[in-house]
Amino acid sequence: MRSSLRLARPLLRRAQPPPPARTSALLLLRPFTTTKPLPSSSVNPSEVSHFNALASTWWDPHGSSRILHLMNPLRHDFITTCLSSSPSSPQYPHRYLDVGCGGGIFAESAARLRTTTSVIGIDPTPNILAVARQHAAKDPALTEEKLRYLSATVETLPEAEREGFDIVTCFEVVEHVDNPAEFLDRCGSFVKPGGWLVLSTIARTWTSWVTTNLVAEDILGIVPKGTHDWNKYINEHELRGHFRSRVGWGAPRVLGVVYVPGLGWKEVPGSEKIGNYFFAVQKVV
């Protein structure tokens, strides 16, 4: 009885958002018409404290970030596909900026590639950056030259570090920021002409609510509770619309991915409309 109550509560609490059609209208409003004074940061303080609490388990291969570790190779495959899709893509080797690098799952892996010059990972969560630095110290290949972490947001990133990135990534980040439109514009400004802005996020659908909030967090507990706020999820057509409204970006590339328990992440074309997906745009030369 008690357990069914426990299940019912989040159902009630989270089942409240208006139907998707209205929500998306609201969400589109949120980034573009900010009534409150412009926030000094895209970072949401409650998100920061949540990820601080996760720091210790970030690199546990069987811990709560396992699902991200498993997804990481697909990010590289997606980037490779994007780079090879356009003749104006930057030549190897590449400079990366990883925004919202967390414990460094992607940043480390990008720095290890032989086709990488350097990676800068930025994140506003101090404990997590400490975890990232400690973990990088375990691999002598990850020299200072190859991989640096900065405690910064897209707003506070030092001027000297802002330009000339071949690839700017923000994986599983936009669903955690307060002002995605502004956030994406800033990320985009760090990309050099010909370079790519690559991100991944989750579509805001009933399916994604059931899988990421209800099943993953509340029932199975494979993702820590409070990781996802379904209201912040962004649909692929909203991202497309955003970049269409901006000058200087090519046609986006999108790839839906689905996590199949026991098998891992699988690329499923079309699933970007339903759940997790990668999204990339190239800055025109």
Binding region for another protein (CB under 8 A): 61, 69, 72-73, 76-77, 108-114, 116, 134, 137-141, 143, 146
User: Quick one: 39 or 264, whose CB is closer to another protein?
Assistant: 264
> Could you tell me if 110 and 119 are in contact, meaning their C-beta atoms sit under 8 angstroms apart?
yes
Sheet with 253-260, edge to edge strand ranges:
147-151, 116-123, 94-99, 165-171, 191-202, 276-282, 253-260, 264-267
CB of 112 to another protein, least distance (A): 4
Residue 211: both structure tokens together: 């899988």
CB of 37 to another protein, least distance (A): 41
User: Quick one: 100 or 104, whose CB is closer to another protein?
Assistant: 104
Residue 158 CA to its chain's centroid (Å): 21
Token pair 């008690």 is found at 2
Number of C-beta neighbours around residue 29 at 10 A: 11
User: Quick one: 128 or 154, whose CB is closer to another protein?
Assistant: 128
CB of 200 to another protein, least distance (A): 15
CB of 133 to another protein, least distance (A): 10
Query: CA–CA separation, 164 vs 168, rounded Å?
Result: 10
CB of 262 to another protein, least distance (A): 10
Q: Which helix (H) or strand (E) holds 94?
A: strand 94-99
Query: CA–CA separation, 20 vs 211, rounded Å?
Result: 16
Cα–Cα distances (Å) from 264 to 1, 87, 194, 267, in that order, read 33, 32, 32, 10
Where is the binding site, in residues? 75, 100, 123, 171-172, 175-176
Where is the binding site for Mg(2+), in residues? 172, 175-176
User: Quick one: 43 or 132, whose CB is closer to another protein?
Assistant: 132
CB of 276 to another protein, least distance (A): 18
Query: CA–CA separation, 68 vs 73, rounded Å?
Result: 10
Where is the binding site for S-adenosyl-L-methionine, in residues? 75, 100, 123, 171
